[in-house]
Amino acid sequence: MSDIRGDAFLGVECSLLGRRWQARLDAAGEARAAAIAQANGLDDILARVLAGRGVGASDAPAYLNPTLRELMPEPLTLRDMDRAVDRFAEAIEAGEQIAIFGDYDVDGACSAALLAQFLTAAGAPPPHIHIPDRILEGYGPNIAAIRELHARGARVLATVDCGTTSIEALAEACALGIETIVLDHHQAPEVLPPVIVVNPNRQDDLSGQGRLCAAGVVFLTLAALNRELRRRGHWTRSRPEPDLLAGLDLVALATVADVASLTGFNRALVVRGLAVMRQRGRVGLAALMDAARMDGPPRPYHLGFVLGPRINAGGRIGDAGLGARLLMLDDKFEAARIARELERLNTERQALEKVTLEFAEAAAELEFRHSNKLNCLVVGSEDWHPGVVGLIASRLKEKFRIPSFAIAFNKEFGTGSGRSLSGVDLGGAVRRGLDAGVAVKGGGHAMAAGVTLARDGLDAFRDFMDLTLEREVEAVRGDDVLRIDAAITLRGASREFARGVGMAGPFGQGNSEPVFAMPALTVSYASVVGAHHVRARLRAGDGVEMDAICFRALESSLGEALLRGRGQSFHVAARVSLGSFRGNEKLDAQIVDLAPS
């Protein structure tokens, strides 16, 4: 193991992925881990995991049992929340027609469903919901949709997961007499639309809640609105207060799928939301779980990689409103029908993504030939479907380990998405590009952003992003190490071990899943699973064996080493967690790196 002087963990200076293995804990962290274990009677490994995430001895009990009561902020600390709540309350009491304009991703669908169900429960007329077509309308409110909602009687408009930068479209809403409330979380410019904007990432918001996704912002809004309606005497025996906690399944799904930080209040939202989801009370989500053949209770993995992609599939290559409709349904038969349709669309999306990724990787390789050191990868084509560019950007970012954009062009414009590395603010860079005139439209948050370019603007955008992100990407490159939480043996990697480590979860952005090093394991068998994954059987010197999987490794150095390495010995870095198979609990091990032993 590494010692306090910073020696490479297990002596691994350069793994098969070119990374140095380093102990997550320094000398101060080791001392903190010992204090956590002794003060709270916790297992040493769990104490090390907590210490590696900045938890102190006195904080450990609250961290292991995050509660909304302790972590929920006062909603009115968000700028303009009081104005938004008052306007919603007035609209509900007056019976005004409210419209909801949502984004076409998971966060937008969950936010729209959450708000619509509360408004209906409060006695408002059923709100009109508009989810824009990704190709025909693009991101955010547009004038044509605003006029249509006005024609349908809308007098109040709520935009969820969008609207912060939609100055022209929302000015049209004002001109038509529609009062607009923006509930968003994307990074904001200095000049905002002339409407009520509740966004913890607006530049004059001091709430400190900038890590919320849009559904989190909606949840806080509903908590404040529920309280205001109670103050006004709105709730009666025949119209009781809705159970706000029942909507936390949607907040948890949106938080994980939108890669929001799983720290603080967000972590409590996801913990409680997973508990709600396990009860299968939401008909649409239960139908989607069944269509996806989910096995066992939902975990963050299922939210990000099973349910999220299926809800997104409608917005990517089908009917963008399918996800929001599914999440509000009470009809089991209709829910099952929509869930099957989303499953079909997701299968089509996977096939389309596979073909597009091959061309995108070839374009990326060409870009690397033109430059010795890229700070941002930007590729585009008129042959790509706009619905999969975000997924392509994510795959490019994972493979080449730099911020990446994929752009789909038509005759006049290109629309695309970018995905970033931790520590590199992509949304801020896009906003600066918009100010500099190298983008027509754009925005987002630190880890993901969207952009619209002029047909001939790809090179200018590429050059701007490469220069703008240079300092942040250099800092990330200088810290290109794999942090190891502890060394364990195969015999020690049991279900009980994984259950104990899981107490520090849920894991995700901002609360990274622990990585454990297992020294000198022999590959006894390896094979290809699915289209891109490699499964291997690992054996320790005492004869104990364990199956592990290496995701999307088929054409990587890790996959090649496993498939050709039968009988060879490696130090293995892996994540260990609990999963399910046919209703039974099982141990899951995911290989993240290898080094010859």
Tens digit of pLDDT for each residue in 339-351? 999 999 999 999 9
Q: Is the pLDDT of residue 528 over 70?
A: yes
pLDDT of residue 1: 38
- pLDDT (tens digit per residue) in 219-270: 999 999 999 999 999 999 999 999 999 999 999 999 999 999 999 999 999 9
Question: How large is the average pLDDT for residues 538-551?
Answer: 96
pLDDT of residue 370: 84
Q: Find out whether 175 and 145 touch, Cβ atoms under 8 Å.
A: no
Sign of CA dihedral 573, 7, 23, 470: negative
Joined together, the tokens standing for residue 172 give 């049209």
- State the Cα angle at 307 between 301 and 308, rounded to 5°: 90
Gap between the Cα atoms of 285 and 277, Å rounded: 8
Question: Given pLDDT bands bounded at 50, 70 and 90, which one contains residue 64?
Answer: very high
pLDDT of residue 2: 38
pLDDT of residue 582: 78
The CA distances from residue 114 to 54, 91, 182, 329, 488, in Å, are: 33, 17, 15, 12, 43
Gap between the Cα atoms of 329 and 498, Å rounded: 36
Gap between the Cα atoms of 414 and 262, Å rounded: 33
Q: Which fold would CATH assign to domain 71-242?
A: inorganic pyrophosphatase (n-terminal core) (3.90.1640)
Joined together, the tokens standing for residue 595 give 């080094």
- pLDDT (tens digit per residue) in 552-594: 898 889 999 999 999 999 999 999 999 888 778 899 999 999 9
For the chain, percent of residues with pLDDT exceeding 70? 99
Q: How many CB atoms lie within 10 A of CB 482?
A: 19
78-82, 131-135, 158-162, 331-335: least confidently modelled range: 131-135
- pLDDT (tens digit per residue) in 160-219: 999 999 999 999 999 999 999 999 999 999 999 999 999 999 999 999 999 999 999 999
* Consecutive H or E run containing 91: helix 81-94
pLDDT of residue 264: 95
Sign of CA dihedral 300, 306, 310, 316: positive
Each domain of the chain, given as residue ranges in start order, spans: 9-25+485-596, 71-242, 371-477
Q: Find out whether 193 and 209 touch, Cβ atoms under 8 Å.
A: no
Q: How many CB atoms lie within 10 A of CB 400?
A: 16
pLDDT of residue 217: 98
Interstrand relation of 584-596 and 569-581 (parallel, antiparallel or unpaired): antiparallel
Q: Which fold would CATH assign to domain 9-25+485-596?
A: OB fold (Dihydrolipoamide Acetyltransferase, E2P) (2.40.50)
Question: How large is the average pLDDT for residues 371-376?
Answer: 86
Q: Find out whether 418 and 448 touch, Cβ atoms under 8 Å.
A: yes
Q: Is the pLDDT of residue 23 over 90?
A: yes
Question: What is the pTM for the complete model shown?
Answer: 0.92
Q: Is the pLDDT of residue 4 over 60?
A: no
Cβ contacts of 277-284, under 8 Å, gap ≥ 24: 277/249, 277/252, 277/253, 281/246, 281/249, 282/249, 282/250, 282/327, 283/329, 283/330, 283/331, 283/332, 283/335, 284/325, 284/326, 284/327, 284/328, 284/329, 284/335, 284/338, 284/339
pLDDT of residue 6: 63
Q: Find out whether 436 and 445 touch, Cβ atoms under 8 Å.
A: no
Asked: is 371-477 a CATH 3.10.310.30 domain? The reply is yes
The CA distances from residue 524 to 494, 538, 540, 546, in Å, are: 19, 6, 10, 10
Interstrand relation of 441-444 and 413-419 (parallel, antiparallel or unpaired): unpaired
Gap between the Cα atoms of 184 and 199, Å rounded: 5
Cis-peptide, bond into residue 506, ω within 30° of zero: yes
pLDDT of residue 112: 98
pLDDT of residue 554: 87
- Among residues 280, 222, 223, 272, the alpha carbon closest in space to that of 252 is found at 272
- Among residues 195, 108, 99, the alpha carbon closest in space to that of 156 is found at 99
Q: Find out whether 418 and 447 touch, Cβ atoms under 8 Å.
A: no
Comparing 9-25+485-596 with 371-477, is the CATH topology the same?
no
Question: How large is the average pLDDT for residues 142-157?
Answer: 97
Q: Is the pLDDT of residue 7 over 60?
A: yes
Q: Find out whether 235 and 262 touch, Cβ atoms under 8 Å.
A: no
Average pLDDT, the chain: 94
More confident residue, 519 or 479: 519
pLDDT of residue 583: 77
Phi-psi bin for 460: left (phi > 0), alpha (psi -120 to 50), beta? Answer: alpha
Question: How large is the average pLDDT for residues 279-290?
Answer: 97
- pLDDT (tens digit per residue) in 410-461: 888 999 999 999 889 999 999 999 999 999 988 888 899 999 999 999 999 9
Gap between the Cα atoms of 37 and 274, Å rounded: 27
The CA distances from residue 328 to 167, 258, 312, in Å, are: 30, 20, 16
Residue length of the chain: 597
